[in-house]
Amino acid sequence: MTATGKPARSAWSGKWAFILAAAASAVGLGNMWRFPYLAAKYGGGTFLLTYLLLVFTFGVSLLLLETALGRLTGQSAIGAFKQFGRKYAFIGILASAVPFIITPYYCIIGGWVTKYAVAYLVDGPAALADGGGFFTGFITSDVESYLWMLVFMAVAFAVVALGVKGGIEKANLFMMPALIVMAVGIAVYTLTMPGALEGALYYLVPDFSKFSPELVVGALGQMFYSLSLAMGIMITYGSYLDRKSSLTQSVVRVGGFDLGVSFLAGLMIVPAAFVAMGSGEAVAANSGPSLMFVTLPAVFADMGGAAAAIGFLFFLLVLFAALTSAISLTETCVSIVQDGAGWSRRKSFAVVIAVVVVAGIVVNMGYNGLSFIEPLGAGTSLLDFFDFLSNSVVMPIVALLTCVFVGWVVKPKLIIDEVERSGPFRLKKPWTVMVKYIAPVLVVVILVAYVAQTFGIVTF
């Protein structure tokens, strides 16, 4: 029985199953298409050092808070906050809204990645390196873009359908090591090419002249969004964790995994830009879909006979990263419905599938049938709007409310006691200061900065 008196819920087979699943959730598209861009833009090693510091202070502190809250209550986000009084359920409702907003559009982008992985085998690298025409034609198509979205969804749903142990654990046990092996392999191959070592030095050696408040805010936002914070995932995954597993060791390892994959992504992409274009400016000038689907195919096309193999392996790697995150988002949605409605897992899963598929179709129409809707100004789409709503608005608000709730309402000792169930918590005093005072300020900085960026007031 859990703390709520309900029948025992799904559970991880052990500590490492949780660590791998949480790390798989954290490792996603942002690691691949935004981290290298920020590192290239903000002085390489200077950005890396700043990011490292933030991950193991602010990031790990919030990971620990959410995981411990989930394990303490044995519930997903809504139930976790509601256990302390119905008036606090709204925090869980906001947190639970995030995966329902993100999952549909994340699966659309996952469909893009799936298409590109296959296209390297079917169409060849030259067809994809046409300055963006291939990409634009694909995402605006009336049939093909929907088809690949549904293919990606089907794979993610199939894994979640097999359950926590039979599906998610086994999938992560295969995809995460494969992802790391492919990343290392591509990075090593790239570094053997003429000009690549210069790119590696650009990426690794700190340029402290580029240190600025913008660098710190960029690193802070990247870390916050990359670690699956404030979207109910870590609370849900924590609720599946046994009482014996050390929370402090687990969250530090999750942060380490995320940092490691981000580092490898930069080591693949930044030197590759040097090989093809002689500088890192191609990376620093592009981020997001532009970097992933326009710039990098042009880079790969210049790799001669290895172009098709490198392009395919790269997009397969990105596909695994996208799938692991989509799986965790879907599982969180299922857990939220199951806990909130009291339904069986099967019924809850069916509802989630229906919601995600319908929402995905509507959002994808923003590139064709509903392209006339430009919610954030000229050139923006429905996907841009929902990404802004979830990442730049709701998630920072949820993180702020969570810090205030734990730091000032139920008090940090509640979480500290849960952490100490499974081992010593030597840094509980600095953690308390972080949650009560520092983290709320940093979250407000993220909220203000990224809303301002969306409306063109500042750029990161």
- Domains, the chain, in order of start with CATH, read 15-454 (1.10.4160.10)
Token code pair at residue 417: 């006691």
Lowest mean pLDDT among 138-147, 266-275, 310-319: 266-275
Give the ranges where 123-212 is alpha helix by DSSP (H): 125-128, 133-139, 144-161, 170-191, 196-204
CA angle 327, 330, 333 (to 5 degrees): 150
Strands (E), 55-136: none
What's the full length of the chain, in residues? 460
- Over the stretch 129-153, which tens digit does the pLDDT of each residue have? 988 999 999 999 999 999 999 999 9
| In the chain, % of residues over pLDDT 90 | 83
Q: Based on the number of CB atoms within 10 Å of its own CB, is 148 exposed (0-12), middle (13-18) or buried (19 or more)?
A: buried
Spatial distance between the Cα atoms of 352 and 333, rounded to a whole number of angstroms: 7
pLDDT of amino acid 54: 97
pLDDT of amino acid 281: 65
- Over the stretch 23-50, which tens digit does the pLDDT of each residue have? 999 999 989 989 999 998 898 999 999 9
Find the mean pLDDT for residues 421-431: 95
Q: Based on the number of CB atoms within 10 Å of its own CB, is 122 exposed (0-12), middle (13-18) or buried (19 or more)?
A: exposed
pTM of the complete model beyond 0.85: yes
pLDDT of amino acid 5: 44
| Torsion angle of the four alpha carbons 220, 451, 390, 405, in this order, in degrees rounded to the nearest 10 | 70
The answer to whether the CB of 240 falls within 8 A of the CB of 45 is no
